[in-house]
C-alpha cells in the first residue's frame, strides 16, 4: 500500500562500501590465522578505499541520501552498522568473526579490529559513538552502552531511507499513527484548495532544488494550517499528503497536550520532535486553536503565562524540520499575526450540493448492490452533511441493507441519515431529511 519514498533507493550505489568490508573481513580472517597481509592486499585495499572516498565526498551518494556529511570514521561506523542489514553476507561474516555472537551486528571491538585502528583512531571511534556525537544526535544508530562488546545497529528510519522500504516503527511519544491510505482522486475539495495542497507538497519535494541548489533560505516546516468544520476532510487531506510522499501520518492532540501538562508541555513537545527528527513522517496537530488564544484577550496572569508558553510552542513547531499540519475548527478567531507564520492556510469548506453528490458517489461501498433510485445527485441535494457525515450515513445504510440481505435503497439511506442527524443532539423532524423524508421508515418517527 505504501508508495516508495521520494528518494531513489541508494543501497545499490553504496556497493563499494560492501565490497571494501568484504575485503576487510577476508584480511582480518587471514590475519587471525597468523597470515600476514601482503603488498598485493594493501594495494587492493587502496583501490577500494578510493572508491568509498568517492561515495563519501560532499557530492557523493551518502550525502545525497542523508542530506548531510559525516567524518571518515563516522562513515566507517555507519557502513559497518548498515552492512548486515543491507547485505546479508556481511551479517554472516561479522557473526563468524565474533565467536559465540548470537547476532550479525558488528560491535565496537570488531570495527576496531576490522579497520586495524591504532590507539588514537580507536579513541576517535569510541568518541564517535558517544551520545552527543553526530551519529547518535542524528538518531542514526543504536548503541546499548559504552560497551565495546555490544552490537551497533542502524535506526529503522535510516534503513528505510536507504532502501526505499516503508518504515514500520512505533509512533513518536504523544502521537498516534493515522493509517488511512488516501489518494488525490478521492479527495473532494474545490480546485483552489487542491492546488494549495499540491503547492504545500512542493515545499517538501523541491527543497533540494530551492535550498540546496538555488541557495534559498532554509526555514523549518513546512507548516500548514487546515481550518474548517469537523468532518470536512482535514485529516483525510493530511493522509493524502502523507501518502503522496510515501511517509506516515501521526496525529497529536494539542488540546490535550497543552491542558494536561501545563508546565511539562515544552518537554513533551521536545520529546516528540526529537523522535520525529529526520524521520519520514507528517505530523498533524489537532485542536491547534489551543495555540491561538487571541492576543489582547489576556485577562489573568495565568492566561498570560499560558500565552507565552503557547507562542513558544508555535515556535517549536515552526523550528521542526519536517511537514506539520495544524488543524482547527475555528477559522474566524484566528489572528493574522499567527496565520502569517504558516507556509499555507487552507480553509476546508462545507461541501456544496455538487460536492456532496461526489462524496456520496465515492463513499457508498463501491461493490454494494444499489437500488436504481439511489442517485448521488439526488442525495447530494437532499441533506447538507459534511463528508464525514456522508461517510457515516453511507456506511450505516450499507449495514442496514446487508442486515436485511438486500441492496441499498432510499429507505436505508433515509434511516441512516436520521441516525446521523440525531447524533448532533438537537430536535429533529422528518423534514430535516428534505427530499428523503418520504422514504423514512415510519417506525423511526413513532419511536420518539
Ligand X SMILES: Nc1ncnc2c1ncn2[C@@H]1O[C@H](COP(=O)(O)OP(=O)(O)O)[C@@H](O)[C@H]1O
- Least spacing, CB of residue 355 vs ligand X, in Å: 7
The residue with cell 519520514 is 280
Q: Does 408 bind ligand X (CB under 6 A)?
A: no
Nearer to Mg ion, 67 or 229 (CB): 229
Q: Does 284 bind ligand X (CB under 6 A)?
A: no
Nearer to ligand X, 28 or 326 (CB): 326
Annotate the chain with three-state secondary structure: CCCCCCCCCCCHHHHHHHHHHHHHHHHHHHHHCCCCCCHHHHHHHHHHHHHHHHHHCCCCHHHHHHCCCCCHHHHHHHHHHHHHHHCHHHHHHHHHHCCCCCCCCCEHHHHHHHCCCCHHHHHHHHHHCCCCCHHHHCCCEEECCCCCCCEEEECHHHHHHHHCCCCCCCCCCCCEEECCCCCHHHCCCCHHHHHHHHHHHHHHHCHHHHHHHCCCCCCCEEEEEEECCCCCCHHHHHHHHHHHHCCEEEEEEHHHHHHHCCCCHHHHHHHHHHHHCCCCEEEEEECHHHHCCCCCCCCCHHHHHHHHHHHHHHHHHHHCEEEEEEEECCCCCCCHHHHCCCCEEEECCCCCHHHHHHHHHHHCCCCCCECCCCCHHHHHHHCCCCHHHHHHHHHHHHHHHHHHCCCECHHHHHHHHHHHHHCCCCCCCHHHHHHHHHHCCHHHHHHC
- 230 makes contact, choosing from ligand X, Mg ion, none, with CB < 5 to 8 Å by partner type, with ligand X
Residue 192 neighbours by CB under 8 Å, 6+ apart = none
CB atoms within 10 A of CB 36: 7
- Least spacing, CB of residue 118 vs ligand X, in Å: 59
Nearest to 83 by CA among 58, 60, 115: 115
Pick out residues in 223-252 that bind ligand X (CB under 6 A).
230-236
User: Which residue minimizes CB distance to ligand X?
Assistant: 387
Nearer to ligand X, 25 or 237 (CB): 237
Give, to the nearest 10 degrees, the angle between helix 387-404 and helix 353-363.
40
Nearer to ligand X, 193 or 415 (CB): 193
- 233 makes contact, choosing from Mg ion, ligand X, none, with CB < 5 to 8 Å by partner type, with ligand X
Number of residues that bind ligand X (CB under 6 A): 16
User: Which residue minimizes CB distance to Mg ion?
Assistant: 235
Quick one: which segment of 77-85, 182-190, 234-242, 345-353 binds Mg ion (CB under 5 A)?
234-242
Quick one: which segment of 110-118, 176-184, 231-239, 242-250 binds Mg ion (CB under 5 A)?
231-239
- Least spacing, CB of residue 238 vs ligand X, in Å: 8
**Angle (nearest 5°) at CA 232 between 318 and 385:** 165
- Least spacing, CB of residue 352 vs Mg ion, in Å: 21
Quick one: which segment of 83-91, 235-243, 365-373, 400-408 binds Mg ion (CB under 5 A)?
235-243
Bridge partners of 146, per DSSP, are none
Give, to the nearest 10 degrees, the angle between helix 191-205 and helix 234-245.
40
Nearer to ligand X, 158 or 282 (CB): 282
Quick one: which segment of 81-89, 183-191, 228-236, 253-261 binds Mg ion (CB under 5 A)?
228-236
- 440 makes contact, choosing from ligand X, Mg ion, none, with CB < 5 to 8 Å by partner type, with none
- Least spacing, CB of residue 267 vs ligand X, in Å: 28
Quick one: which segment of 163-171, 229-237, 257-265, 314-322 binds Mg ion (CB under 5 A)?
229-237
| Residues 171-190 as x/- pattern, contact with ligand X by CB under 6 A | ---------------xxxx-
Nearer to ligand X, 69 or 255 (CB): 255
Pairing of strands 344-347, 221-227: parallel
Quick one: which segment of 214-222, 233-241, 300-308, 358-366 binds Mg ion (CB under 5 A)?
233-241
- 189 makes contact, choosing from Mg ion, ligand X, none, with CB < 5 to 8 Å by partner type, with ligand X
Nearer to ligand X, 157 or 348 (CB): 348
Nearer to ligand X, 67 or 349 (CB): 349
Q: Does 320 bind ligand X (CB under 6 A)?
A: no
- Least spacing, CB of residue 138 vs ligand X, in Å: 33
Nearer to Mg ion, 157 or 226 (CB): 226
Q: Does 235 bind Mg ion (CB under 5 A)?
A: yes
Q: Does 388 bind ligand X (CB under 6 A)?
A: yes
Residues in touch with ligand X (CB under 6 A): 186-189, 230-236, 348, 359, 387-388, 391
Residues in touch with Mg ion (CB under 5 A): 234-235
Amino acid at each position: 500500500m505504501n508508495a516508495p519514498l521520494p528518494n531513489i533507493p541508494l543501497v545499490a550505489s553504496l556497493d563499494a562500501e560492501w565490497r571494501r568490508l568484504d575485503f576487510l573481513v577476508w584480511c582480518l580472517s587471514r590475519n587471525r590465522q597468523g597470515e600476514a597481509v601482503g603488498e598485493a592486499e594493501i594495494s587492493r585495499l587502496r583501490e577500494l578505499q578510493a572508491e568509498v572516498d568517492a561515495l563519501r565526498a560532499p557530492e557523493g551518494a551518502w550525502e545525497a541520501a542523508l542530506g548531510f556529511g559525516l567524518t571518515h570514521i563516522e562513515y566507517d561506523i555507519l557502513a559497518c552498522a548498515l552492512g548486515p542489514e543491507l547485505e546479508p553476507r556481511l551479517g554472516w561474516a561479522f557473526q563468524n568473526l565474533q565467536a559465540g555472537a548470537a547476532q550479525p551486528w558488528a560491535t565496537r571491538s570488531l570495527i576496531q579490529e576490522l579497520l586495524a585502528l591504532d590507539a588514537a583512531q580507536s579513541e576517535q571511534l569510541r568518541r564517535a559513538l558517544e551520545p552527543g556525537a553526530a551519529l547518535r544526535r542524528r538518531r542514526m544508530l543504536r548503541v546499548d552502552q559504552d560497551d565495546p562488546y555490544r552490537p551497533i545497529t542502524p535506526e529503522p528510519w535510516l534503513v528505510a531511507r536507504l532502501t526505499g522500504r516503508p518504515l514500520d516503527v512505533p509512533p513518536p511519544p504523544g502521537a498516534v499513527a493515522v493509517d488511512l491510505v488516501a489518494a488525490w482522486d478521492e479527495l473532494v475539495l474545490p480546485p483552489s484548495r487542491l492546488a494549495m495542497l499540491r503547492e504545500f507538497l512542493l515545499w517538501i519535494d523541491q527543497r533540494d532544488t530551492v535550498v540546496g541548489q538555488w541557495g534559498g533560505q532554509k526555514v523549518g516546516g513546512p507548516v500548514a494550517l487546515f481550518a474548517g468544520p469537523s468532518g470536512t476532510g482535514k485529516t483525510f487531506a493530511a493522509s493524502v499528503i502523507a501518502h503522496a510522499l510515501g511517509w506516515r501520518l501521526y496525529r497529536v492532540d494539542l488540546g490535550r497536550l497543552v491542558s494536561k501538562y501545563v508546565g511539562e508541555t515544552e518537554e513533551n513537545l521536545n520529546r516528540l520532535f526529537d523522535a520525529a527528527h529526520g524521520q519520514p513522517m507528517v505530523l498533524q496537530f489537532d485542536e491547534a486553536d489551543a495555540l491561538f488564544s487571541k492576543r489582547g484577550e489576556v485577562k489573568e496572569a495565568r492566561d498570560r503565562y499560558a500565552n507565552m508558553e503557547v507562542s513558544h510552542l508555535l515556535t517549536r513547531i515552526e523550528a521542526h524540520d519536517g511537514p506539520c499540519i495544524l488543524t482547527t475548527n475555528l477559522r474566524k478567531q484566528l489572528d493574522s499575526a499567527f496565520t502569517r507564520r504558516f507556509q499555507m492556510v487552507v480553509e476546508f469548506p462545507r461541501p456544496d450540493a455538487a460536492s456532496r453528490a461526489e462524496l456520496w458517489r465515492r463513499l457508498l461501498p463501491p461493490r454494494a448492490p444499489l437500488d436504481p433510485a439511489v442517485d448521488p445527485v439526488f442525495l447530494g441535494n437532499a441533506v447538507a452533511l459534511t463528508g464525514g457525515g456522508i461517510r457515516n450515513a453511507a456506511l450505516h445504510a450499507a449495514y442496514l441493507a446487508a442486515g436485511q440481505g438486500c441492496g441499498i435503497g432510499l429507505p436505508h439511506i433515509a434511516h441512516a441519515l436520521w441516525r446521523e442527524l440525531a447524533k448532533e443532539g438537537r430536535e429533529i423532524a422528518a423534514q430535516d431529511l428534505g427530499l428523503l423524508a418520504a422514504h423514512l421508515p415510519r417506525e423511526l418517527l413513532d419511536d420518539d
